[in-house]
Amino acid sequence: MIRLLSVSKAYPRTGLAVDDVSLHVARGEFVFLTGPSGSGKSTLLKLVFMEERPTEGEVRVSGVNSASLKRGDVAQLRRKLGVVFQDFRLLDDRTVHANVAFALEVTGAASAAIPAKVNRLLTQVGLASKGPAFPRELSGGEQQRVAIARALVNDPFVLIADEPTGNLDDRATRGVFQLLREINAAGTAVVMATHNLELIRRSDYRVLEMLHGQLVADTADPTVALQAAARRAERDAAARNGERAASADRAGDSGGAHAADRSPTPV
Ligand code: ADP
């Protein structure tokens, strides 16, 4: 369903954000994506919903392949997956009902069917009575529920959630997480980036952990941690060799004037 094959993403000014990641998410799974800030979680999710393209490797999502994208592929993919963000991204000048309806309109849904579908979705996320309200009149947790309702308009096979509880207090966090669990129990896969270790501990879902752009742990595949440790050891050894070569270079330099300019000698 979602497959990453040796995927790397380098940004022009900041360098490698995702470093040689391979993974598979099956239909209907719930997967946590965790790791410190800056470890590459958002970039990984953007590669999955194809807002970013890999610099190396391939991303395959529901029959769409990043290496051979055809016209219209990304638009078609976006109709099959839902995305929610930490900052909700609702339209502030439209009611809750209109926010969800708008997402249906842009996908060309029959206009007669829209109000009933919006009401069904708002009921599903626990906001049946909030349709006429504007986003600023809702709590953070309620706003995130509207964003989730909007993400569900096309019955996606996967819901991608980037720190969906990052702006919420504990109670709202628990409520939104429970909603995501219910959505998953009804058959939609969920990939959720989070810093919240408490949520991770309280459930037994698969956990992917990132560090410096690399996937360093995957509870469904213990070999990932071993491979990551081997990669780190290899890099540390290469760095030590580089340092040794550089200091040998400095020691052997009689003039010294340009020693700092030279690259370490490969060993
Ligand atoms: P996380 O979601 O784990 O906090 P990100 O994927 O946002 O990590 O960031 C990983 C790295 O990629 C960071 O070093 C960040 O500066 C860089 N990065 C993220 N987005 C961009 C961008 N649009 N342009 C350039 N660099 C970026």
Over the stretch 198-242, which tens digit does the pLDDT of each residue have? 999 999 999 999 999 999 999 998 899 998 888 888 888 998 998
Pocket mutation for ligand 1, best pick of 9, 11, 51, 83 (most atoms within 8 Å of C-beta): 11
% the chain with pLDDT above 70: 94
CA of 42 to the centre of ligand 1 (A): 7
For ligand 1, residues with CB inside 6 Å are 11, 13-14, 17, 35, 37-43
Measured from the CA of 9, which atom of ligand 1 is nearest?
Answer: 12
Choice between 65 and 228, residue whose per-residue pLDDT is larger? 65
CA 91 – CA 99 distance, rounded (Å): 6
Supply 134's token pair.
């504007």
CA 12 – CA 134 distance, rounded (Å): 39
Kindly report the pTM of this predicted structure. Answer: 0.89
Average pLDDT over residues 164-191: 97
CA 2 – CA 43 distance, rounded (Å): 15
Question: What are the domain boundaries of the chain?
Answer: 89-155
Dump pLDDT digits (tens) for 68-82. Answer: 999 999 999 999 999
Supply 165's token pair.
């509880």
Q: Could you tell me whether strands 81-85 and 158-162 are parallel, antiparallel, or unpaired per DSSP bridges?
A: parallel
Predicted confidence (pLDDT) at residue 257 exceeds the cutoff of 70: no
> Whose C-alpha lies nearest to ligand 1, atom 19?
43
CA of 38 to the centre of ligand 1 (A): 6
- Average pLDDT of the chain to the nearest whole number: 92
- Please classify residue 157 by burial: count the beta carbons closer than 10 Å to its beta carbon, then call 0-12 exposed, 13-18 middle and 19+ buried: middle
Q: What pLDDT, on a 0 to 100 scale, did the predictor assign at position 249?
A: 76
Determine which helix (DSSP H) or strand (DSSP E) holds 7, and give its type and residue range.
strand 2-11
Measured from the CA of 35, which atom of ligand 1 is nearest?
Answer: 3
